A = this chain, B = another copy of it.
């Protein structure tokens, strides 16, 4: 297949690589062209715009930053929808808003293009190992056409419903992840304060009914003050902002989400945006910081 790929960040570069490794022909675009170098060296064509990446493509993937970026590279001038032909696929793996996913799908349908919102979970590790969970929203036809490609990127590819359902599912994922991470950080702050061997605590509680992926994979990093990113705070803060907006729109009050969002926003404002989400523990180290104590 001829595939266009837009956005070569910490995850996109691995995902695009898997498609090439499976024999697909890739045109790749990134705002920072140098990021495309490894893929170009492996045989990809360097595209000059999202639209250019989409010329003649059977499918285009987008994996960019914010919803505004998704809007620009799909619906905007020089965007992929200006080049995609009827019957082709437009698959957005960015975590974005459900409403934008619906708008993109409608615009795509107007051109006979099949759109799928397909945000992922699993971080850079999952992207590299092709073990992502991929949460898809779109028509059965869009899902049917994309499944073969998505299976190259993830170990769980799930059709969650119509356009927007993938993004809604990703919000469920992030609400869960944010609460889990707060639990990890609070638990291990307590452990240290109580004089326990916090690494031993990770092993002790991670294996039981309190266990989580976050504790078992990031707990030791929290203990070691290792904030190297698997998933960056700036991305989590973005995602939680979407989640809070959507929850409000749905009439929901989610206190754990609200806490996590305020703590992550405080860390973002304090310059920790490019640390991993496990740096949330730092927000618990400033009890006098009002951002850390949203209940006061």
Contact = CB atoms under 8 A, between A and B. Distances in A.
Contacts of A256: 179, 182-183, 186, 256, 259
Contacts of A123: 209
A247 B193 CA distance: 9
Interface in A154-183: 156, 158, 160-161, 165, 168-169, 171-180, 182-183
A213 B208 contact: yes
Interface residues on A, range: 35 or more
Contacts of A208: 121-122, 126, 132-133, 156, 173, 213
A181 to B, nearest CB: 9
A257 B284 CA distance: 12
A40 to B, nearest CB: 30
Dominant secondary structure of chain A at its interface with chain B? helix
A270 interface: no
Contact of A172 (B165, B190, B247, B287): B190
A133 B215 CA distance: 15
Contacts of A284: 252-254
Given A121-B205, A169-B204, A256-B259, 4 more contacts: A168-B191, A190-B252, A251-B287, A255-B259
